[in-house]
Copies of this chain bind each other. A is one copy, B any other.
Amino acid sequence: MKTEHRSGCPINLSLEVFGDRWSLIILRDMIFGGKRHFRELLNGSIEGIASNILADRLKRLMELGMLTKADDPSHKQKAIYSLTEMAITLVPIMAHLGAWGRVWLPVSEELSIRAELLEKGGPPLWEQFMDELRHDHLGTPVAAAGRPSVRATLQAGYEAVVARKASSAGQAAAS
């Protein structure tokens, strides 16, 4: 574990945790994509991470206290990666980052719909989502009280965009 820091500045220390090209991508896929296994992360992310980089980052994120690893009871070889509270509290930062990117960068519609919904939901939605993550990753009991899960809402929004795009593409092809 690296214990030497460039400085005690909070922003610098945060950068030392996820100031690289892949760590936050992995956390994004775990948080918003529900990925828990090595292969899911390897094949599931659009950006195409290499397996050695993924293994290195998972190890590093565990050393930093952002992830934990456990055996999957259903498969002797499978490992389940879980978010810690430290990682779950990144949700507001992810939301802001997504909102900023939507304004200033050439985002694609399909991939930014989740960021848009997260932005519109605001802090109350983030809190509910973090509770759902705590339930899934930490085993915390959650009082979701009949509300539709944020995960389902985000997923439905994504599928709506994809369906609309497919529809308009079909129209374009038919004309």
Contacts and interface: CB of A to CB of B under 8 A. Distances in A.
Interface residues of A, number: 46
Interface stretch (A36-44, A94-102, A134-142): A94-102
Given A6-B47, A8-B112, A24-B11, A100 B107 contact: no
A92 interface: yes
Contacts of A112: 8-10
- Copies of this chain: 2
Contact of A25 (B5, B11, B20): B11
A21 interface: yes
A10 B103 CA distance: 9
Contact of A13 (B11, B12, B90, B105): B105
7 contacts: A9-B108, A10-B99, A10-B100, A11-B94, A13-B107, A93-B93, A93-B96
